[in-house]
Amino acid sequence: MPPLGAVFFEKMQSFKGRDILDINDFSKDELLYVLNAAKEFDPEFVKSKRSNYTLAQGKIAALLFFEPSTRTEQSFSSAAQKIGMGIIGFNDPKATSIHKGESFSDTIRIMDSYADVLIIRHPESGSAKKAAEVAQIPVINAGDGPNQHPTQTLLDLYTMMKEAGKLDGITIAFMGDLKYGRTVHALSLALSHFKVKQIFISHSTLKMPDEFLKVLKERGVAFEECDRLPESLEADFLYQTRVQKERFKDLDEYKKVKDKFILDASFKKYLDKGVKLMHPLPRVNEIDPVLDHHPNAIYFKQARNGLYIREALLTLVLGRI
């Protein structure tokens, strides 16, 4: 990883005022740049007891959560406060004038005039982009339905970089709901910038969609598909996902596949061999909590890394580093 410094300062301008809507808007250099910036907020890299409280003091983050969240909302709130920002917003649109019929655009226009950054989660694809078309200030997409969740992808990349010490040369296996999982689609494409082998493990009805596999082929990415967890999995990371009940039109189809790719205590042998287990969370039953204390079960560390990525992104879009 290149050190921060002159290059860092030079590139700072490109993030100031920028919307963070789609991970595909990031070049490889920009991805690495944000990952490097996150190290500046991570106590594992910054040993001093320095406070970042004055970095964005006087600035306001508006958290507009039209859909439930634990990690994204709370880590953005924590990240903003750690760099000195004030917080406004809502996580229950019924408690706002949307309940009286106010439009999405008017809501965004109003919040735009009260804040310096808008952070939006919404169930509809394209909603963050729509907000960015109305807002004058930077908009950060905190998840727009099945479409994108770019800060999740950045924290996933950061976790892999931290754990493996590199991205080039690693192998990642994705498992579970590869059809509807936005985290899988976005992470797979982001990793296609690096020399990373990708293994897709799923039921035939939840396969990685062809449109994504086509892009991987065009980019020369080595990948393979399997319909079960291989006995000897040659991978640095297994990225497990939840089968998302809310995305199925036919509940019988959901019931057929929901328990097909559960990791129980027997997965310990893979962890013992060095496979690191990731999951964007929340989980339902797809990882047995008995695995949680294994040092290679890293999903809680992964969620914590979201704090450093979000501190870095807020500071970057405000032009404060």
Neighbours of 19 (CB within 10 A): 20
Number of residues that bind ligand CP (CB under 6 A): 10
Question: What residues are labeled active site?
Answer: 71-72, 100, 121, 149
Residues 104-163 that bind ligand CP (CB under 6 A): 143, 149, 152
Binds ligand CP by CB under 6 A, chosen from 200, 242, 280, 321: 280
- Return the number of other C-beta atoms located less than 10 Å from residue 211's C-beta: 8
d(CA 101, CA 88): 21
Between CA 69 and CA 91 the distance in angstroms is 8
Residue corresponding to tokens 């999951």: 279
Residue 98 DSSP class: G
Q: To the nearest whole angstrom, how small is the minimum distance from the Cβ of residue 292 to ligand CP?
A: 17
- Phi, psi at 20, each rounded to 5°: -110, 95
Q: Which stretch binds ligand CP (CB under 6 A): 97-105, 237-245, 246-254, 279-287?
A: 279-287
Residues 45-104 that bind ligand CP (CB under 6 A): 69-72
Give dist(CA 142, CA 179) in Å, integer.
20
Minimum Å distance from CB 279 to ligand CP? 9
Shortest Cβ 64–ligand CP spacing (Å): 14
Q: How far is the CB of 6 from ligand CP (least distance, A)?
A: 35
Residue from the set 7, 29, 282, 284 that interacts with ligand CP by CB under 6 A: 282
- Residues paired with 87 in a beta bridge: 61
Locate all alpha helices (DSSP H) within 113-241, ordered by sequence. 127-134, 150-164, 182-191, 210-218
Comparing CB distances to ligand CP, the nearer of 184 and 321 is 184
Q: Which residues form the interface with ligand CP (CB under 6 A)?
A: 69-72, 143, 149, 152, 280-282
